[in-house]
Structure 1
């Protein structure tokens, strides 16, 4: 639901009842992941998408029905049917399960605080019961990552504590997920399937080297939802005017900046300086950090020389194997803009364990569930939103 957090926040503040349709499970190839939502208010206004257009009309009508009936949540499954070319279904061949529930003004009021946190970019999550006893379907627990607090109830204190702990773990990893809880005396007597909608801060892209390629890459990184930093030790080149798409431009020695800034498993480190006095101390440090991606620009000869220097600096082979160099996929890129596409394509493929090959040469589903290193898992293209 956090893919439409801004609109839901406005509706909740205005005490407007609405129907919320949430993708709760995906089988096979489907266009959007679990947690993606569509909502319809009493005036018929619709926001969001759950299938990229395939089944939106049917889900819209189901939302209108739930709003008018004011009854219990409804479940629906949409898949592909060869029997009827005009049947509502997914043209991609997969299946999705959708939960539709009516959100009353009182329920919306309880959601307001967590939706506001999401709008302000603070880590927050909504845990939603998507399978279990009918009377509990749609119940939510709100979890605030910056304070460690949670409110709401999923039916028992044990379940609340268990789910809140799982939600905090997912927020730290920057991703959403579906978990199973209950069925035992220690957590909750009733078995529950809970979908955790998580909104973590944007992942970081650290670009070292204030060059033309960095300007194009900062723009591409911004488009993908990264919080982009450009860092260079030369103040004449590291200026905000040269990098309008970067969130911040830092004048400092690259390794010194990296040593004192925050990184995590979603951080992408892109070294574009190809100057040993910058590269070696920077990469020596970066290869020892728990970041998601490390790439360095340069020719193959530069790469081989760089590896020799890093070995001399004491970097073990197991860490050197983490370095993507020469940076980027082989797209035949020449311009800074083409090179930026090459680099971001490699980052996406690495985060999602993609092959980097043309889809026409592969087999099996083309849609994959995002991993913790992916940017977007949603919201503001923000990763970790669903």
Structure 2
């Protein structure tokens, strides 16, 4: 949700109404966490959004009525449609080409039900609830993974109190944002508000600005990390080569790292192969408590690096935390593939996964804090 605040502010400043859908609660296996959000923005091309009439389309499934997933009211239950019709169950998104979606909630038909609820909320100015349907109800919006989501859909119009609150949060630094989504259903009944707290944005520090660093910077930015690239060579450490980096530092790496904030939410990736400073850089990252420290190189390079680190007085307990050679064994060859391998290992270290193929494991797929 918090990553959508800047887009919310831009829409409000442009005078465009939209609906915000946020996950109020989740149980069982579900891909997104409580507080995850999606924007439904009508009128992307300037024309009012429309819904296709199922009866006018002979290719639609016979008897496919309206989707029952737009439950409204404080007593909304899975699979009910107390708040009116959504798009058709056979093709929930038909005729809605003029609606823009930003963000995601599940990647499945839950989004389809939310779109219908969002358009209704914008039409009458009242919030909606959408509850994912139970397994076995083919017409209810249900997660394929069998989880249950309770979502709140709130209309946002420029000038209203909630729009003003979103604008205020957009002016707040990302790490300090806190959104309280008002929860009043279509009947006017107050429900518990959804509070979305800011979490510190993880940081990936990449030492070295060659091809592998370029690919890794793109991967780290993709997962939402703040990306810092450090390289003493101005020819390599350029904005043109590293457009995804939030910060580019042209300095001797150990000196640069000594001044950067490093902690449990920091990943430090040493990709230089430069024996003049890579051991010192790794030692500094380990001693300062980086949550992940990895170094590129062959197994032979790794053994030489360990000898240099021990010569620098790095204890075995810290050396055991070093990921070297860096990355998971994906059979990666290209810089882009290697970047996927490295980022996968960083996510594994942060989230506590096992790294095995999910098809060979048991238990919950989606872990919750």
TM-score normalised per structure 2: 0.72
Deviation at 1:257, TM superposition (A): 0.6
User: C-alpha separation between the residues in 1 aligned to 2:336 and 2:20?
Assistant: 40
Number of positions where the alignment pairs a residue of Structure 1 with one of Structure 2: 310
Where do 1:8-19 residues align within 5 Å?
8-13=8-13, 19=19
User: C-alpha separation between the residues in 2 aligned to 1:54 and 1:231?
Assistant: 43
Match of 1:78 among 116, 132, 138: 132
The equivalent of 1:285 in structure 2 is: 284
User: C-alpha separation between the residues in 1 aligned to 2:289 and 2:190?
Assistant: 39
**Structure 1: tracts of 5 or more residues without a match:** 140-193, 372-386
The equivalent of 2:107 in structure 1 is: 52
Cα deviation 1:119-177 (Å, max 9, x = unaligned): x756422134669xx865365xxxxxxxxxxxxxxxxxxxxxxxxxxxxxxxxxxxxxx
What SS does structure 1 have at the residue aligned with 2:114? helix
User: C-alpha separation between the residues in 2 aligned to 1:94 and 1:13?
Assistant: 37
The equivalent of 2:198 in structure 1 is: 198
User: C-alpha separation between the residues in 1 aligned to 2:192 and 2:101?
Assistant: 19
Distance 1:47 1:245, change over 3 A: closer
Deviation at 1:39, TM superposition (A): 4.3
User: C-alpha separation between the residues in 1 aligned to 2:241 and 2:129?
Assistant: 52
Greater alpha carbon shift after TM alignment, 276-285 vs 302-311: 302-311
Distance 1:125 1:327, change over 3 A: same
Equivalent residues of 1:3, 1:36 under 8 A apart? no
Deviation at 1:321, TM superposition (A): 1.8
Equivalent residues of 2:174, 2:198 under 8 A apart? no
The equivalent of 1:246 in structure 2 is: 245
User: C-alpha separation between the residues in 2 aligned to 1:218 and 1:14?
Assistant: 32
Deviation at 1:266, TM superposition (A): 2.2
The equivalent of 1:124 in structure 2 is: 177
The structure with the largest strand share of the pair is: 1
**Structure 2: tracts of 5 or more residues without a match:** 43-47, 50-98
What SS does structure 2 have at the residue aligned with 1:35? coil
User: C-alpha separation between the residues in 2 aligned to 1:234 and 1:40?
Assistant: 45
CA root-mean-square deviation: 3.1
Deviation at 1:66, TM superposition (A): 4.0
The equivalent of 1:93 in structure 2 is: 146
User: C-alpha separation between the residues in 2 aligned to 1:338 and 1:10?
Assistant: 35
User: C-alpha separation between the residues in 2 aligned to 1:324 and 1:130?
Assistant: 45
TM-score normalised per structure 1: 0.69
Equivalent residues of 1:114, 1:126 under 8 A apart? no
Matched, 1:107 2:161: yes
Larger radius of gyration: 2
